[in-house]
Amino acid sequence: MSDNDQGQVHYRVEKGIAWLTFDRESSRNAMTWHMYDQLEAHCKAIEQDPDIVAVVMRGAGGEAFVAGTDIKQFAHFSSGDDAIAYERRIDQLVSRVERLPLPTLALLEGFCVGGGAAIALACDFRYATPSLKFGIPIARTLGNCLSITNVARLVEHAGVARAKQVMMAGELIRANEALSAGLVAEVVPAEEIEALVAERATAFKQRAPLTVKAAKQVIQRVLDEKRAPHDGSDDWITTCYTSEDFRAAVNKFVNKTPFSWKGR
């Protein structure tokens, strides 16, 4: 992958609001290792800046928030250890987002799938345009398996029935359904959403900072008590990522070779 195709996670602070923008428009902002590393570095910077009151995350271009992890990055996977290391890395990064000490708001336009859905679910508040397509369609695309912690976030926010709809059937949830399910707080026209999210983020300047931080951390403690151990899906991660199906699906994406699911 060329340096020009690595993508960027832009970071700026404006009037006390940190804006993170996932920018790899040619691939619907699909994440590369470089972008994941940048996201982690920006989270560290946010944690160390006492003047930031809230964080907004969005995708560049208006067509996607983040369309998962770039599938080309799985081409070198050869063992269950590769798979588990990847899922641990994603867990670490998404947990870093989830545990930021400030309110986090996700501005969602277009595709928000796979790793993008995981990042959005780790935010405190989600706002969407009518173009939202939210899901984890790996049963249709890649044949892999999520970490149990990312599955837990989906179940917590969407409920068991919709989690099965998203993960087993590979269906994408549209904006109105996401609103009725509580996955997003508001659905706003594309031309209005940036201003609205900025307004919602700025409103935290008028909230008691310690109360906001305490509420976030205490709620997180409740969630942590309910969640399964982080290695609770390692057996299925290994099975799926080392399968013929997974290798064939990656090969189809990289080399445009046809295949059909074999279940092995």
**Domain presence at residue 88:** yes
pLDDT tens digit sequence for 168-217 = 999 999 999 999 999 999 999 999 999 999 999 999 999 999 999 999 99
CA distance 95 to 245: 29
**Domain presence at residue 251:** no
User: Does the pLDDT of residue 53 top 70, yes or no?
Assistant: yes
Q: Which residue from 113, 162, 122, 165 is spatially nearest to 141, judged by alpha carbons? A: 113
CA distance 41 to 97: 11
Judge contact between 81 and 24, C-beta under 8 A.
Answer: no
User: Does the pLDDT of residue 1 top 90, yes or no?
Assistant: no
Overall domain count for the chain: 1
CA distance 82 to 26: 27
**Domain presence at residue 221:** no
Instruction: Please give the structure tokens belonging to residue 116.
Output: 């993008």
**Domain presence at residue 36:** yes
Q: Average pLDDT, stretch 83-107?
A: 96
pLDDT tens digit sequence for 219-264 = 999 999 999 999 999 999 999 999 999 999 999 988 999 899 999 9
CATH number at residue 74: 3.90.226.10
Structural domain span for residue 178: 3-206
Mean pLDDT for the chain? 95
> What pLDDT was estimated at residue 73?
85
**What is the CB neighbour count within 10 angstroms for residue 161?**
10
**Domain presence at residue 191:** yes
List beta partners, residue 135. 113
**Domain presence at residue 218:** no
**Domain presence at residue 26:** yes
> What pLDDT was estimated at residue 76?
86
> What pLDDT was estimated at residue 157?
95
pLDDT band of 120, cuts 50, 70, 90: very high
Q: What percent of the chain has pLDDT over 90?
A: 92
Q: What is the DSSP string of 32-78?
A: -HHHHHHHHHHHHHHHT-TT--EEEEEESSSSEEEE-B-GGGGTT--
**Domain presence at residue 89:** yes
User: Does the pLDDT of residue 218 top 80, yes or no?
Assistant: yes
User: Does the pLDDT of residue 37 top 60, yes or no?
Assistant: yes
pLDDT band of 78, cuts 50, 70, 90: confident
> What pLDDT was estimated at residue 3?
54
Q: Which residue from 140, 142, 96, 85 is spatially nearest to 118, judged by alpha carbons? A: 96
CA distance 159 to 102: 25
- Angstrom distances, CA of residue 51 to CA of 21, 60, 104, 212: 19, 25, 15, 15
